[in-house]
Amino acid sequence: MTTEQLTKQHCEACQAGAPQVSDEELPTLLAQIPDWAAPVRDGVMMLEREFKFKNYKLAWAFANKVSTLAEEEFHHPAILLEWGKVTVTWWTHAIRGVHKNDFICAAKTDALLDAE
């Protein structure tokens, strides 16, 4: 699967009990979003990337685009907006880990930057 294939997909409704990305799937999916880290916080794997901008206004505009994407996909990340920087963290609360939805949204977040 390529990054482009991820960006063409949409999130599926995800509830408690949905499968987390397996250990076998993880390396392949991470390779599609190479600029993202996969930190584990309080036992929960997440996908996280820091985006840098020349000023607050550009960072704010990007954070708004990520928010619009989140509403379109009905999947919502943590977004930290700072001067010249936006940190986006995707994970699936219902399963306390990462689902394919998170990789789809991470790839789509990258595409927002490419569209600028």
**Ordered structural domains, the chain, with CATH:** 21-114 (3.30.1360.20)
Residue 94 DSSP one-character state: G
Q: pTM value?
A: 0.88
Question: Rounded distance, CA 112 to CA 116, Å?
Answer: 7
Question: Rounded distance, CA 99 to CA 14, Å?
Answer: 8
Tokens at residue 91, please? Answer: 């994970």
Residue 53 DSSP one-character state: -
Query: Which pLDDT tens digits describe the chain residue by residue (116 residues)?
Result: 455 666 665 556 566 667 889 999 999 999 999 999 999 999 999 999 999 999 999 999 999 999 999 999 989 999 999 999 999 999 998 898 999 999 999 999 999 987 66
